[in-house]
Structure 1
Amino acid sequence: MGTQRVVRARGVTKCFGDVVALDGVDLDLLPGRIHGLVGPNGAGKTTLLGLLLGLAVADSGDLEILGRPVGRALAAPGGVAGFVDGPGLYPSLTARQNLAALAALRGQNARTARPRIDGALAEVGLTDVADDKARGFSLGMRQRLGLAAALLTDPRLLVLDEPANGLDPAGKKHVHGVLTRLAAEGTTVVLSSHRMDDLEALCSEVTILATGRVRFSGPLDKLAGESRELEYRLLSSAPEAARRLAAGTAGIRVVEESAAWRGAEALVVSAQLPALDELVAALVRADIAVRELAPVVSPLEAAFLALTEQQEADA
């Protein structure tokens, strides 16, 4: 795929009156990656997505998209597609007619565009409702139709704002599959979401924004590195024996000795990964089965909370 940056931002600043939405943002995005964008409300996520889609321009700093500098005039960069604050649809048109209208706006002939339209609808799982009017669509169906519209352009950079909003489990699986395939084929995907589970399932890297500034940008495994202590929930075949082993393992702190979890008795411990590995090895040596071991709060969510809370404290 190469290492040429799909997006390169240096010192990007954007203000709305006295409100500083982005404050000196640096960002690098490479081909074939799914990049998560997270932050509390008002962090600047929507503003940054708008810059990438050409819906706004930066007040200062340098922004390059697909190797081309972005100027100071509103313009949608070639090779970029997506939506912010939900896709714009014609409610009185069917799903297929909506995509045909978008194809026509791009100068495509309705007859020649039909196979691509049908393919995009099939890709996002909307074939069965292709001739239903968009006004009757649920939020999740509208999100999938917006994704189908973006697919029509074969984007090299796909920008999505909360794409999992309103999706049922089947719809989420469908969308995740589409995004994973696009990344495997070289498309860069940027998605903003408050759903940490979606980000951890999809993203290879993440940027955390707080008050318009980048608090972290890089691989997920670096964010949730071995140096970070987390709380873990442990279900085992012998809860009392597991508690005694945990209490006697260096680097393990028992947070809660008995916590009900899915009808079973769980142990909650706080540890860094090396100490947790020692505990698991001790449990195996003691012939205690480990039925479940998982963070109480995901590594991404824990890091997000720590970084944004530190930002607020600094402010």
Structure 2
Amino acid sequence: MTQAVRGRGITKYFGDVIALDGVDLDVAAGQIHGLVGPNGAGKTTLLGILLGLATADKGTLEVLGQPAGRALLVPDGVAGFVDGPGVYPSLTARRNLAELARLRGYGEKAEVDDALAQVGLADVANDKVRGFSLGMRQRIGLAAALLIRPRLLVLDEPSNGLDPSGRKHVHEVLRRLAADGAAVLLSSHQMDDVEALCSEVTIVAAGRVVFAGPLSKLADESRPVDYLLRVSDTATARQIAASASGVTLGPVPANDADLIIIRANVPAIDALVPQLVSAGVAVRELTPVTSPLESAFLALTEQQAQQQAEQQEVSR
């Protein structure tokens, strides 16, 4: 698969602070790739380098087959925004995009209107942006990116402030771009967005990559997760769960007689459910308290933070 982004050893300093510490990044064309990590992990710095807003101090970076990351230039076909899109509050949504299209030398009126329609803003095209919500401004930023028909789209928290309708529009646009061969790199704290959209993910913590690869590898089925289990007979269900291999009972939920909490991995859950059904216990709901992806993310970032704290203690 063609690589839209290939970074090796990307390092960035801000004074004595190491924002990025030897980061490797691979994003394939036709793929939606998630970039996740705790606040201060270096995600925004990395996105800024990809968009030509900052330069790397060390390492190599290729974007759409061209060297990048050192000069404040990006290849044609790269679009996106960091820390929210820049807009003119006194102009309408349509005028914002029309002016951007004029400055860059492309985009007729029909293309502007099509971009607004794709992100669900056709009905407010003639409204001034100063009255727009955060989510609507995010969608204007995405519409602006669509004008150049990007081959690499870089987005920083694109779901910020989005209502369900706006989120649906954004998801549809990103899936369509990837299906047409574009690469999408999105940074998000919304694990459900990452799970819904991304085939691969890079997790950064304290400026370092702690995981890179397919979501299926990250959300390891052997990792125990807490589940809410709603059943017709909690007493029998607790008795069966207590004796089941690989299952641990949690505390008894207050004010919900039909619910029990268990901790188990996927194979243990697969074995438990038939046991309950065979005993005449109806399983009405089985929901992870924390998704397997979020559980893995928390474990990896907490482990990295602990290792960093131990290294700092040793160096004193």
TM-score range relative to shorter protein = over 0.9
Match of 1:104 in 2: 102
Q: Output the CA distance in 1 between the equivalents of 2:69 and 2:29.
A: 22
- The normalised TM-score by structure 1 is 0.94
Match of 2:35 in 1: 37
- The normalised TM-score by structure 2 is 0.94
Q: Does 1:174 align with 2:172?
A: no
Match of 1:119 in 2: 114
Q: What one-letter code is carried by the residue in structure 2 that aligns with 1:134?
A: V
- Return structure 1 stretches of 4+ with deviation > 4 angstroms: none
Q: Does 1:93 align with 2:88?
A: no
Match of 2:141 in 1: 146
Deviates further, 36-45 or 68-77: 68-77
- The Cα RMSD (Å) is 1.3
Superposition pairs for residues 211-226 of structure 1, below 5 Å? 211-226=206-221
Match of 2:49 in 1: 51
After TM superposition, give the deviation of residue 243 of structure 1 in Å: 1.1
Change in 2 beyond 3 A, CA 1:276/1:259: farther
Q: What one-letter code is carried by the residue in structure 2 that aligns with 1:280?
A: V
Match of 1:232 in 2: 227
Q: How many residues align?
A: 308
Superposition pairs for residues 1-315 of structure 1, below 5 Å? 3-70=1-68, 72-108=70-106, 113-260=108-255, 265-315=258-308
Q: Output the CA distance in 1 between the equivalents of 2:247 and 2:25.
A: 37
Q: Output the CA distance in 1 between the equivalents of 2:69 and 2:53.
A: 12
Task: Judge conservation of contact 1:259–1:268 (CA < 8 Å) in 2.
Answer: no
Q: What one-letter code is carried by the residue in structure 1 that aligns with 2:265?
A: Q
After TM superposition, give the deviation of residue 302 of structure 1 in Å: 1.0
Change in 2 beyond 3 A, CA 1:71/1:244: closer
Q: What one-letter code is carried by the residue in structure 1 that aligns with 2:247?
A: I
Task: Judge conservation of contact 2:116–2:140 (CA < 8 Å) in 1.
Answer: yes
Q: What one-letter code is carried by the residue in structure 1 that aligns with 2:168?
A: K
Unmatched runs of 5 consecutive residues or more in structure 2: 309-316
Q: Output the CA distance in 2 between the equivalents of 1:169 and 1:4.
A: 33
Q: What one-letter code is carried by the residue in structure 1 that aligns with 2:269?
A: L
Q: Output the CA distance in 2 between the equivalents of 1:238 and 1:210.
A: 43
Q: Describe the superposition over 1:28-57 as per-residue Cα deviations: whole angstroms up to 9, x where unpaired.
A: 111111111111111000001011111111
- Over the matched positions of the two proteins, sequence identity in percent amounts to 66
Q: SS state of the match for residue 30, structure 2?
A: coil
Q: SS state of the match for residue 21, structure 2?
A: strand
Task: Judge conservation of contact 1:236–1:292 (CA < 8 Å) in 2.
Answer: yes
Q: What one-letter code is carried by the residue in structure 2 that aligns with 1:31?
A: A
Q: What one-letter code is carried by the residue in structure 1 that aligns with 2:224?
A: E
Q: What one-letter code is carried by the residue in structure 2 that aligns with 1:95?
A: A
Q: Output the CA distance in 1 between the equivalents of 2:89 and 2:23.
A: 37
